[in-house]
């Protein structure tokens, strides 16, 4: 694991050095005098200008547009802009489809998160007990799945599960399950979600595998050795020693997966052809996109974007809270 | 099991239980190895099937050939993709956008990471939190404001307007920076303060130190981080779809691939060949930096 310099959240500034660790004290003495004060800002400026222009300003605009009745006519300037306040949100909350989509998103993302974590961490534990060449093989293959672009991954999975030509149905029919002859996996709402979720788990478990494996490797062998000498069984060691020590990593990986899976767009869009039959497979992101760019309801689409962002911000804040509680310094 | 054979005799005799224990471990290890090999094969299967289907002749694919091999590999599908559909141009577009994004975002993120790790100033922690939070922003939600922003920007600077590759570069640089800063932090912080002091004593200016000493030292980490900007740019399909509306010649790979999808008469050979072409650069990039990636990720996650 890369060592990170410990930094105190409110390191002494200006003329009050001497608090905290020696490194921090030395740092503040070196860098806080006079001219140096401007230097970090010079290094920060380019990145932050880009961030403000391409993240900050768009977020502001997103909220702004969500408060207007903004459709094709307003975009081309043929109709006056109407400030409608929270009307777009009221419309959404009164629309049963919105609640269905929100429900879809939560169920789908949760399933993806749970399976990604299960598969990833079990394989990480398994990886610690493998011969080096088998482990390398597992890692290279997993990295391959990880690296596969969402678009091509979706294409291959779609092909494997194609109703008439797909290998999966062919195999199922060949072993006697004739009801799968020409069976469409994307026709039924939940089998379509299941298919997309499998692809998502396939390309996102490697992140969990790699990170949790690194975490396990970082546990000093002496600790486990000591427990073994004291007579602890392997499951006991996993539960009482490894799990607590891996907690910070597991939390980070979980939150990261939640965030990624709530944002899934490409896989759903491609595999269910834009949200499934009659929009049965829509998730928030795809729904917002369809409202804006297919139906030209930019105001409504923006409101969906705001809801999505707010949802993820809440998750992020919980994440920061937990990090703080476990004593991880920024 | 080889462990038993190699272990020194002296050690084996000191502990009566050792050989038995090792054998037991060896057996268990064999089971784990077998399971891992099966799992690895399953994980690799979609990629294998992709390459295989790209090489199968069209007649075999249309007949629903399910054989896990092909006796008459052909490059016809690749020919169709590259020749008829102008895939080469889209490939080039994707490469240009991805490379420019990687270079720009890494340089900007590196400089920011220097400021955030090697200096102590008032806003530091606040800025770090802002960066962490901005990673979580669902960029897909920003499609609408960005669409209008780029439309307006295009009127002033045509290069970054809609339908231009520049528009894709711009948004992806913006999206790549937060995570790149977050990851590079660990690498930059790992360079000891003594190196900096030595450089200062030798009369190097701060910028000189950053450029000539810090950057080369951090370079391996930079490569690892760049893989993330590269992949997210290379894979992006939403922004390419939204921003490149009418200029076919400026389309990138993901959208080009999608044009092969036709209800009920998909040319799977072409889709798979296109997928292979699109996947290979990422695979090479990814596997070649994987070691650095693992340590970098661990650092970033520990963050």
Cβ(B51)–Cβ(B77) below 8 Å = no
**CA B126/CA B237 separation, integer angstroms:** 33
Q: Model confidence over B254-274: pLDDT tens digits?
A: 888 888 887 667 788 889 999
- Please give the pLDDT value at position B160: 84
More confident position, A60 or B160: A60
Whether B303 has its CB under 8 Å from any CB of chain A: the answer is: yes
Chains A, B: CB contacts within 8 A come to 332
How confident is the model over A263-299, as pLDDT tens digits? 899 999 999 988 888 889 999 999 999 999 888 999 9
Among A226-230, A242-246, B83-87, the range scoring the smallest mean pLDDT is: B83-87
pLDDT of residue B17: 44
Q: Is A33 on the interface with B (CB under 8 A)?
A: no
- The answer to whether B141 contacts A262, with C-beta atoms less than 8 Å apart, is no
- Taking only the tens place, the pLDDT of each residue in B48-60 is 999 999 998 888 8
Cα B153 from Cα B171, distance rounded (Å): 12
**What does the pLDDT look like over B205-236, one tens digit per residue?**
888 888 888 888 888 778 877 888 888 899 88
User: Cβ A61–B148 below 8 Å, yes or no?
Assistant: yes
B184 CB burial (10 A radius; 0-12, 13-18, 19+): buried
Q: In this structure, how many other beta carbons lie within 10 angstroms of the beta carbon of residue A30?
A: 17
Across the range B169-198, mean pLDDT stands at 88
- Phi, psi values for residue B82, rounded to 5°: -80, -40
Q: Which residues of B touch A135 (CB under 8 A)?
A: 36
From the list A152, A211, A315, the residue facing B301 with the nearest CB is A211
CA B300 to CA A63: how far, in whole Å? Answer: 31
Task: Residue A153: name the closest of B176, B43, B102, B263 by CA.
Answer: B43
Q: What is the spatial distance between Cα B56 and Cα B276, in angstroms, rounded to a whole number?
A: 13
Q: Which B residues in the span 78-97 are in contact with A, Cβ-Cβ below 8 Å? A: none
pLDDT score for A16: 36
Decide if B236 contacts B176 (C-beta within 8 A).
no
Arithmetic mean of pLDDT, B265-289: 86
- CB contacts, 8 Å: B274 with chain A: 152
The predicted structure's pLDDT at residue A239? 83
The pair of three-digit structure tokens given for residue A293, joined into one six-digit string: 């760019």
Report the mean per-residue pLDDT for chain A: 83
**CB contact A76 to B (< 8 Å):** no
B19: distance to nearest CA of chain A, Å? Answer: 17
Q: What is the mean pLDDT of residues A14-27?
A: 40
- Low-confidence winner among A67-81, A123-137, B287-301 (lowest mean pLDDT): B287-301
Chain A's closest residue to B116, CA to CA, is A40
Residues 6+ positions from A223 with CB-CB distance below 8 Å: A241, A245
Q: What is the dihedral angle through the alpha carbons of A61, A66, A71, A74, rounded to the nearest 10 degrees?
A: -50
pLDDT band at B291 (very low <50, low <70, confident <90, very high): low
The predicted structure's pLDDT at residue A237: 83
C-alpha–C-alpha distance, residues A311 and B76, integer Å: 48
> What DSSP string runs through chain B?
-HHHHHS-HHHHHH-TTHHHHHHHHHHHHHHHHHHHHHHHHHHHHHHHHHHHHHHS-HHHHHTT---SS-SS---HHHHIIIIIT-HHHHHHHHHHHHHHHHHHHHHHHHHHHHHHHH---TTHHHHHHHHHHHHHS-GGGGHHHHHHHHHHHHHH-GGGSTTSHHHHHHHHHHHHHHHHHHHHHHHHHTS-HHHHHHHHHTT--HHHHIIIIIHHHHHHHHHHHHHHHHHHHHH--HHHHHH-SS-GGG--HHHHHHTT--TT---HHHHHHHHHHHHHHHHHHHHHTHHHHHHHHHHHHH-
Closest CA to B78 of B87, B70, B69: B87
Residue B5 clears pLDDT 50, i.e. is over it: no
Flag if A170 and B64 touch (Cβ within 8 Å).
yes
Q: How far apart are CA A64 and CA A224, in angstroms?
A: 55
Report the mean per-residue pLDDT for chain B: 82
What pLDDT, on the 0 to 100 scale, is given for residue A45?
92
Please state which of the ranges A166-170, B27-31, B77-81, B126-130 shows the lowest mean pLDDT.
B27-31
Name A83's bridge partners.
Answer: A68
Residues in chain B with CB shorter than 8 Å from the CB of A161 are none
The rounded distance, in Å, linking the Cα atoms of B224 and B294 is 9
HSE-CB for A321 with a 13 A CA cutoff = 6
When CB atoms are compared, the residue of A28, A129, A265 closest to B120 is A28
Q: Which residue of A has its CA nearest to B61?
A: A165
N-terminal to C-terminal alpha carbon distance within chain A: 16
Better-predicted residue by pLDDT, A319 or B48: B48
Residue with tokens 């596969």: A148
Residue A243 above 90 pLDDT?
A: no
Residues B81, B277 contacting (CB under 8 angstroms): yes
Q: Which helix (H) or strand (E) holds A83?
A: strand A82-83
Higher-confidence residue of B34 and A74: namely B34
Predicted structure pTM score: 0.81
Q: How far is A243 from chain B (nearest CA, A)?
A: 16
B7 band by pLDDT with thresholds 50, 70 and 90: very low
B90 vs B299 pLDDT, higher one: B90
Q: Is the pLDDT reported for residue B36 higher than 50?
A: yes
Q: Which of A234-238, A279-283, B10-14, B19-23 has the highest mean pLDDT?
A: A279-283
CB contact under 8 A, A147 and B127: no
Provide the pLDDT confidence category of residue B196 given band limits of 50, 70 and 90.
confident
């Amino acid at each position: 694991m890369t060592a990170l310099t410990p930094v105190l959240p409110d390191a002494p500034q200006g003329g009050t050095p001497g608090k905290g660790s020696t490194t921090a004290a030395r740092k503040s003495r070196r860098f806080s005098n006079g001219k140096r004060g401007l230097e970090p800002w010079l290094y920060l400026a380019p990145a932050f200008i880009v961030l403000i222009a391409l993240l900050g300003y768009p977020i502001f605009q997103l909220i702004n547009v969500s408060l207007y009745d903004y459709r094709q006519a307003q975009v081309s300037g043929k109709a006056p802009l109407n400030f409608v306040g929270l009307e777009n949100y009221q419309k959404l909350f009164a629309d049963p489809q919105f609640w269905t989509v929100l429900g879809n998103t939560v169920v789908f993302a949760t399933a993806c998160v749970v399976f990604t974590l299960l598969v990833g961490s079990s394989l990480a534990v398994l990886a610690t007990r493998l011969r080096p060449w088998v482990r390398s093989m597992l890692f290279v293959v997993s990295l391959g799945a990880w690296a596969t672009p969402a678009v091509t991954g979706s294409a291959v999975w779609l092909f494997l599960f194609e109703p008439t030509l797909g290998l999966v149905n062919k195999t199922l029919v060949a072993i006697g399950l004739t009801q799968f002859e020409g069976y469409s996996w994307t026709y039924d709402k939940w089998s379509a979600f299941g298919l997309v979720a499998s692809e998502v788990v396939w390309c996102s478990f490697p992140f969990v595998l790699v990170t949790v494996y690194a975490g396990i490797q970082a546990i000093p062998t002496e600790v486990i050795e000591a427990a073994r000498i004291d007579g602890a069984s392997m499951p006991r060691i996993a539960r009482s020693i490894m799990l607590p020590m891996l907690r910070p990593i597991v939390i980070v990986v979980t939150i990261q997966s939640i965030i990624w899976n709530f944002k899934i767009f490409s896989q759903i869009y491609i595999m269910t052809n834009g949200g499934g039959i009659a929009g049965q497979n829509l998730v928030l992101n795809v729904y917002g996109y369809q409202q804006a760019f297919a139906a030209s309801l930019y105001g409504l689409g923006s409101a969906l974007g705001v809801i999505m962002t707010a949802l993820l911000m809440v998750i992020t804040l919980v994440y920061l809270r937990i990090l703080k509680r476990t004593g991880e310094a920024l | 099991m080889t462990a038993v054979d190699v272990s020194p005799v002296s050690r084996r005799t000191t502990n009566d239980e050792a050989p038995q224990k090792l054998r037991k471990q060896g057996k268990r290890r064999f089971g784990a190895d077998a399971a891992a090999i099966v799992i690895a094969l399953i994980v690799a299967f979609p990629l294998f099937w992709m390459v295989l289907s790209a090489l199968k002749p069209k007649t075999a694919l249309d007949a629903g050939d399910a054989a896990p091999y092909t006796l008459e590999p052909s490059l016809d599908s690749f020919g169709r993709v590259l020749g008829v559909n102008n895939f080469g141009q889209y490939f080039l577009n994707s490469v240009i956008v991805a490379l420019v994004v990687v270079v720009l975002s890494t340089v900007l993120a590196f400089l920011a990471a220097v400021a955030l790790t090697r200096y102590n100033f008032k806003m530091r922690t606040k800025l770090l939190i802002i960066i962490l939070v901005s990673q979580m922003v669902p960029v897909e939600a920003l499609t609408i404001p960005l669409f209008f922003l780029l439309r307006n920007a295009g009127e002033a600077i045509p290069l970054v307007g809609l339908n231009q590759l520049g528009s894709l570069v711009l948004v992806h640089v913006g999206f790549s920076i937060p995570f790149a800063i977050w990851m590079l932090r660990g690498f930059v912080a790992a360079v000891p303060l003594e190196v900096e002091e030595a450089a200062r004593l030798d009369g190097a200016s701060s910028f000189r130190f950053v450029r000539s000493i810090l950057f080369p030292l951090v370079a391996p980490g930079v490569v690892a981080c760049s893989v993330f900007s590269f992949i997210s740019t290379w894979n992006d399909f939403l922004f390419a779809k939204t921003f490149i509306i009418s200029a076919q010649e400026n389309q990138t790979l993901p959208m080009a691939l999608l044009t092969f999808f036709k209800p009920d008469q998909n040319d799977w050979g072409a889709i798979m060949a296109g997928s292979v072409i699109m996947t290979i650069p990422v695979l090479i990039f990814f596997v070649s930096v994987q070691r650095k990636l693992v340590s970098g990720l661990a650092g970033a996650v520990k963050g």
